[in-house]
């Protein structure tokens, strides 16, 4: 019958991924500020969100360094070519780098929103 459509946030362009993350963060920031009963917390919450997003951006980098180090260590022990093994991991590296860009840029924008909201509110 019909084609099965595969839907995933990772299939969207980076700009849409960043916008989705920022919309979710903004919704959470305003929801928490309303629950706390003071909209002046918006700036602080954006700041904390930017720290969290930047930490999430760093995690794929650390994972890549650790896995590449392990792979190189195994290759040296087994007398295999390290560059060949690293070429095989290239697709995983590109996915992790994409996540770093998305969360890193979202963290920077959240930090800018923190500054803007501190000046406005």
pLDDT per residue over 68-108, tens digit each? Answer: 778 777 777 777 676 776 777 777 778 788 889 999 999 99
Give the separation between CA 53 and CA 37, rounded to whole angstroms. 24
Q: What is the pLDDT of residue 54?
A: 97
**By the 8 A CB rule, do 17 and 101 touch?**
no
Q: Would you state the pLDDT for residue 2?
A: 58
Angstrom distance (rounded) from CA 86 to CA 112: 37
User: Is the predicted pLDDT of residue 42 greater than 90, yes or no?
Assistant: yes
The 3-state DSSP class for residue 13 equals: coil
The predicted structure's pLDDT at residue 9:
67
Q: Which of 2-6, 31-35, 81-85, 96-100 is least confident?
A: 2-6
Q: What percent of the chain has pLDDT over 70?
A: 89
DSSP letters spanning 32-90: HHHHHT-GGGHHHHHHHHHHHHHHHHHHHHHHHHHHHHHHHHHHHHTT--HHHHHHHTH
In whole numbers, what is the pLDDT of the chain averaged over residues? 87
Least Cα distance to 93 among 64, 50, 71 occurs for 64
Question: Angle CA(102)–CA(103)–CA(104) in degrees, nearest 5?
Answer: 95
Q: What is the pTM of this model?
A: 0.82
């Amino acid at each position: 019958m019909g084609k099965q459509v595969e839907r995933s946030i990772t299939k969207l362009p980076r700009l849409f991924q960043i916008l989705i993350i920022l919309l979710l963060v903004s919704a959470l920031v305003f929801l928490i500020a309303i629950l706390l009963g003071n909209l002046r917390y918006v700036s602080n919450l954006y700041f904390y969100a930017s720290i969290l997003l930047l930490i999430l951006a760093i995690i794929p980098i650390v994972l890549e360094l650790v896995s590449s180090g392990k792979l190189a260590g195994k290759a040296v022990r087994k007398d295999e070519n390290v560059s060949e093994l690293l070429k095989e991991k290239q697709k995983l590296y590109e996915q992790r780098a994409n996540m770093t860009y998305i969360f890193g840029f979202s963290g920077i924008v959240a930090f800018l929103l923190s500054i803007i909201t501190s000046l406005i509110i």
